[in-house]
Structure 1
Amino acid sequence: MADPSKEWGVYFSRTHQRPYFRSSVTNESLWEAPPQLSREQIASLPGAELLTGGKPAPKVPSQSSEKISASHLLIKHRGSRRPSSWKESHVTRTTEEAYEILAGHYRELVPGSTGPSDEGASVPNPKPDRALFEQLALVHSDCSSHAQAGALGSFGRGAMQKPFEDAAFALQPGEMTSKIVSTDSGLHLIYRTA
């Protein structure tokens, strides 16, 4: 049997201002230590210093105080950090199924396209109809921001997961990502609003 201490790490929730445990295998997050770990194993986990009052890694300093605003359409899958949403208490779809759902929304937003571009392709970011994007997010997004038509408000660097941040900051206002963006939360289409 594999050593359970190899799959767990300690992370810091900036929202709740406290450490938590996360499995790299199941993406399960726990506020309390996993019961199968001994004190010695817990002390040796990556990030264990956070449990004894160690400080989380500082936020990446911004080159500027630039803030942007964006909306997104999130489709979760069973490998998502929290595989549940306002629509489903337990998301069971695969990453591939989530991708196909989001690709369908992309085709609806960008008429005439065959879908989002591949990872290696360099394709201009489309400028879809904002009202249609907001309507799709309102109905289909697995994020609680669906209630605000996917709007996340304004944010600076260091506030979002790195792949999301990089994609959002690369957009101009009115543009949507030409690729589907993958984060620990799931798969996203991102629309920069300002």
Structure 2
Amino acid sequence: MSAPQDAPPGWAVIASSSRPGKYYYLNKATGATQWEYPTQAAAAAAAAAAAGPAQPAAAKVRASHLLVKHRDSRRPSSWKESVITRSKEEALDLIRYYQKEITEGRATLATLATTESDCSSASRGGDLGFFGPGDMQQAFEVATYKLSVGEISDPIFTDSGIHLIQRTA
């Protein structure tokens, strides 16, 4: 795949370090990334974000997560596996299994994240600390802000993989 000639205003084209010859798009205002060419709505949102918020930014939140990567993830490797080969469907099956373990009270997100998450936050029980608008990939951020403290999301898909998110503050 050759590099696109240009990106919409507010976006940058970045060469993937994990997938030679592949490029992704970076929203300069939010830091969100995606493989697909930004839609007109996404480009307009990036331009609006670059212009600055119309009102004060929302307060920071804190969350923990359990991430299951798959072979199509942005970086298909982790502290557990140097090369992740599972399919997206297999990753979703794992996330649903972990979700069931949590909802049925056999485990907590923090304990599962410690041993099962493909994110380096596993060493902290999945804790990502505090973050604000624009600090995380958009789907992750939107899901987190919709949660009440203590609530756990359904599976959330990002370029990184599939997440279960628990808002902690």
TM-score of Structure 1 vs Structure 2, range by shorter chain: 0.7 to 0.9
In 2 relative to 1, CA 154–22 (structure 1 residues): closer, same or farther, beyond 3 Å? same
Kindly tell me the number of residue pairs found equivalent between the two proteins. Answer: 144
* Aligned residue identity for 2:16: R
2:119 counterpart residue number:
143
Q: CA deviation at 1:132?
A: 1.6
* Aligned residue identity for 1:144: S
The root-mean-square deviation of aligned C-alpha atoms, in Å, is: 3.2
Report whether the alignment pairs 1:86 with 2:79.
yes
User: Which residue among 125, 132, 147 is the counterpart of 1:156?
Assistant: 132
User: Which residue among 138, 145, 152 is the counterpart of 1:176?
Assistant: 152
5+ residue gaps, structure 1: 13-18, 35-44, 51-55, 112-127
State, as a whole percentage, how many aligned pairs show the same letter: 42
Counterparts of 1:96 and 1:57, CA distance in 2: 31
Counterparts of 1:159 and 1:21, CA distance in 2: 21
In 2 relative to 1, CA 4–143 (structure 1 residues): closer, same or farther, beyond 3 Å? same
User: Which residue among 3, 6, 12 is the counterpart of 1:5?
Assistant: 3
Q: CA deviation at 1:101?
A: 0.5
* Aligned residue identity for 2:83: H
C-alpha deviations, 1:151-179, integer Å up to 9, x for none?
A: 000000100000000000000101001x2
Counterparts of 2:156 and 2:113, CA distance in 1: 15
- Give the secondary structure class of the aligned counterpart of 2:61: strand
Stretches (4+) displaced over 6 A: none
Taking the TM superposition and a 5 Å limit, the aligned residue runs for 1:14-163 are 20-22=14-16, 28=19, 34=21, 57-59=28-30, 60=49, 61=53, 63-111=56-104, 132-163=108-139
TM-score by length of 2: 0.73
* Aligned residue identity for 1:5: A
Q: CA deviation at 1:133?
A: 1.3
* Aligned residue identity for 1:185: S
Counterparts of 1:182 and 1:63, CA distance in 2: 28
Q: CA deviation at 1:5?
A: 3.4
Counterparts of 1:72 and 1:138, CA distance in 2: 10
Q: CA deviation at 1:77?
A: 0.0
Q: CA deviation at 1:63?
A: 4.2
In the alignment, is the contact (CA less than 8 A) between 2:72 and 2:87 conserved in 1?
A: yes
* Aligned residue identity for 2:141: E
5+ residue gaps, structure 2: 31-48
C-alpha deviations, 1:8-36, integer Å up to 9, x for none?
A: 97x76xxxxxx84139xxx72x6xxx5xx
